[in-house]
Chain A
Amino acid sequence: MAQGMATLGRVPGVAFVLVALFAIFAAMSPGFSTAPNLSNILVQSSILLLLALPMTFIIMTEGLDLSIGAVLTLGSVVLASVAVSTGSLTIAFIAAVAIGLAFGLLNGWLIAWIDIPPFVTTLGTLGIAQGLCLVITDGTSIVGMPPSLHFFYSGTVLGIPFPLILAAVAYAVMHGILYHTRFGTYVPALGGNREALRHAGINDRRVLAIVYGIGGLMAGIGALLLTSRISSAHPTAAIGMEFDAIAAVAVGGTQFERGEGWLLGTLLGVVTIGVLRNGLNLLAMPSSIQVICVGLLVIVALFFDGVRKAHDS
Chain B
Amino acid sequence: MRLPLLVIRNQSRMTDLATIAPVQADSATARGPLLELRGICKTFPGVRALDNVSFPIWAGEIHMLCGENGAGKSSLMKVLCGAYVADEGELYNHGEKIEIKSTLDARQFGIAVIFQEFSLVPYLSVAQNIYLGREFPGKIPGTIDRQKIRSEAQRVLGMIGSDIDIDAPVHTLGVAQQQIVEIAKALSQNARILVMDEPTSALSDTETEHLFGMMRRLKAAGVAIVYISHRMAEVFLLGDRITILRDGKMVATVLPNETTPSDLVQKMVGRKVDAIHRRGDNIKPGAVALDVKGLTGPSGISDINLNVRAGEIVGLCGLVGSGRTEVARAIFGADRITAGEVTFFGKRFSGGPDEATRMGVALIPESRKSQGLALIRSVGDNIVVSSLDKLFPSHIFHPGKAAKVAQAMIKKLRIATPSPRRAVQVLSGGNQQKVVIGKWLAAEAKLFIFDEPTRGIDVGAKAEIFALMYDLVENGAAILMISSELSEIVNVCDRAYVMREGIIAGELSRERLNEENILQLGMHHE
Partner-B contacts on A (CB < 8 A): 60, 176, 180-182, 185, 188-189, 191-193, 195-202, 258-261
**11 pairs, CB–CB < 8 Å, chain A vs chain B:** A176-B143, A180-B138, A181-B143, A189-B121, A192-B124, A193-B118, A193-B119, A197-B121, A199-B113, A258-B123, A261-B123
Question: CB distance A260 to B123 under 8 Å?
Answer: yes
Bound complex: CA of A94 vs CA of B148, how far in Å?
39
Residue in A176, A192, A199, A202 with the greatest tally of chain B CB atoms within 10 Å? A199
A180 touches B146 (CB 8 A): yes
- Which of B118, B124, B133 meets A201, CB within 8 Å? B133
Name the one of B83, B113, B132 contacting A189, with C-beta atoms under 8 angstroms.
B132
**Contact flags B100-135 to A (C-beta < 8 A → 1, else 0):** 001110010000010101111111100011001111
Nearest neighbor of A179 in chain B, beta-carbon distance: B146
- Which chain B residue has the least Cβ–Cβ distance from A194? B121
A63 to B81, CA, bound (A): 29
CB nearest to B115 among chain A residues: A199
Query: Does the CB pair B83–A199 fall under 8 Å?
Result: yes
Q: How far, in angstroms, from A161 to B258 measured CA to CA in the complex? A: 82
Q: B104's closest neighbor in chain A, by CB?
A: A201
* With known contacts A180-B144, A181-B144, A189-B124, A195–B119 Cβ distance under 8 A: yes
Chain A residues lying within 8 Å of B146, measured Cβ to Cβ, are: 180
Q: A180-B138, A181-B144, A201-B107 are in contact. Are A196 and B171 (CB under 8 A)?
A: no
- Report Cα–Cα, A168/B302, bound state, in Å: 53
Closest to A199 in B: B119
Query: Contacts A180-B138, A197-B132 hold; do A185 and B124 have CB atoms under 8 A apart?
Result: yes
Contacts of A258 in B (CB 8 A): 122-123, 171
- Chain B positions 131 through 155: 1 when the CB is less than 8 Å from some CB of chain A, otherwise 0: 0111100100011101000000000
- A199 to B182 alpha-carbon distance, docked (Å): 12
**B164: min CB distance to chain A, Å:** 18
4 more CB-based (< 8 A) A-B contacts, given A193-B119, A199-B83, A259-B123: A180-B143, A180-B144, A192-B123, A195-B117
Docked CA distance A259–B107 (Å): 26
For B124, the closest partner residue in chain A by CB is A188
The residue in A176, A185, A192 that gathers the most chain B C-beta atoms within 10 A of its C-beta is A185
Which chain A residue shows the least CB distance to B143? A180
Taking a contact as CB atoms closer than 8 A, the residue among B118, B122, B132 that contacts A260 in the complex is: B122
B133 touches A197 (CB 8 A): yes
Q: Which of B81, B113, B122, B143 contacts A192 (CB 8 A)?
A: B122
Assess whether B142 is in contact with A193, with CB atoms less than 8 Å apart. no
Q: B120–A193 contact, CB under 8 A?
A: yes
**Nearest residue in A to B134 (C-beta to C-beta)?**
A200
Chain B residue nearest in CB terms to A195: B119
Do the beta carbons of A182 and B102 come within 8 Å of each other?
no
Cross-chain contact A193 with B121 (CB below 8 angstroms): yes
Contact partners of A200 in chain B: CB under 8 A:
103, 119, 132-134
Given A185-B132, A201-B102, A196-B121 contact (CB < 8 Å): yes
Residues of A within 8 A of B135 (CB): 182, 185
Contacts of B103 in A (CB 8 A): 198-201
Within the assembled complex, what's the spacing in Å between the Cα atoms of A181 and B133? 11
Measured between beta carbons, the chain B residues less than 8 angstroms from A201 are 102-104, 107, 133
Residues of B140-193 at the interface with A, using a CB-CB cut-off of 8 Å, are 142-144, 146, 171
Chain B residues near A188: list those with CB within 8 A: 121, 123-124
* Chain A residues whose C-beta falls within 8 Å of the C-beta of B124 in the assembled complex: 185, 188-189, 192, 259
Q: B122 to A182, Cβ gap below 8 A? A: no
Of chain B, the residue at the smallest CB distance from A184 is: B144
Q: Is the CB of B122 within 8 A of A193?
A: yes
CB pair A202–B133 under 8 Å, yes or no, is: yes
Residues of B within 8 A of A202 (CB): 132-133
Q: Once the chains are docked, how many angstroms separate the CA of A203 from the CA of B118? A: 19
A200 to B121, CA, bound (A): 11
3 closest cross-chain pairs (CB), A and B: A200-B133, A196-B119, A201-B104
Which of B115, B121, B138, B144 touches A259 (beta carbons < 8 Å)? B121
Q: Are B144 and A185 in contact (CB-based, < 8 A)?
A: yes
- Write out the residue numbers on chain B whose beta carbons fall within 8 Å of the beta carbon of A196: 119-121, 129, 132
State how many angstroms separate the Cβ of A42 from the closest Cβ of chain B.
Answer: 28
Q: How far is the CB of A60 from chain B (nearest CB, A)?
A: 8
Q: Which of B58-106 contact A (CB under 8 A)?
A: 81, 83, 102-104
Q: Is the CB of A259 within 8 A of B122?
A: yes
Q: What's the nearest-Cβ distance from chain A to residue B26, in Å?
A: 32
**Set of chain A residues within 8 Å of B142, measured between Cβ atoms:** 181
**A201 vs B138: C-alpha distance when bound (angstroms):** 20
Contacts of B107 in A (CB 8 A): 201
Cα–Cα, bound, A196→B144 (Å): 19
Contact B119 A182 (CB under 8 A): no
A185-B128 contact, Cβ under 8 Å, with A180-B138, A180-B146, A198-B103: yes
Report chain A residues within 8 Å CB of B81: 199
Least CB distance from A145 to B in Å reads 36
Q: Which of A181, A189, A196 has the most CB of B within 10 A?
A: A196
Q: In the complex, A232→B113 CA distance in Å?
A: 58
Q: How far is the CB of B116 from chain A (nearest CB, A)?
A: 13
Q: Which residues of chain B are within 8 angstroms of A192 by Cβ–Cβ distance?
A: 121-124
Residue of B nearest to A191 (CB): B123
Q: How far is the CB of A176 from chain B (nearest CB, A)?
A: 7
Cβ distance A180 to chain B, nearest Cβ, rounded Å:
5
Q: How far is the CB of B508 from chain A (nearest CB, A)?
A: 33
Distance of A188 Cα from B133 Cα, bound (Å): 13
Q: Which residues of B contact A260 (CB under 8 A)?
A: 122-123, 171
Query: In the assembled complex, which residues on chain B have CB atoms less than 8 Å from the CB atom of A199?
Result: 81, 83, 103, 113, 115, 119
CB of A303, distance to nearest CB on chain B (Å) = 20
Distance, CA A13 to CA B133, complexed state (A):
34
Q: How far is the CB of B119 from chain A (nearest CB, A)?
A: 4
A74 vs chain B, min Cβ distance (A): 30
Name B135's closest neighbour in chain A (CB-CB). A182
Report the minimum CB–CB distance from A192 to chain B (whole Å). Answer: 4
> How many Å lie between the Cα of A202 and that of B123 in the bound state?
18
A100 to chain B, nearest CB (A): 22
Which residues of chain B have C-beta atoms less than 8 A from A180's C-beta?
A: 138, 143-144, 146
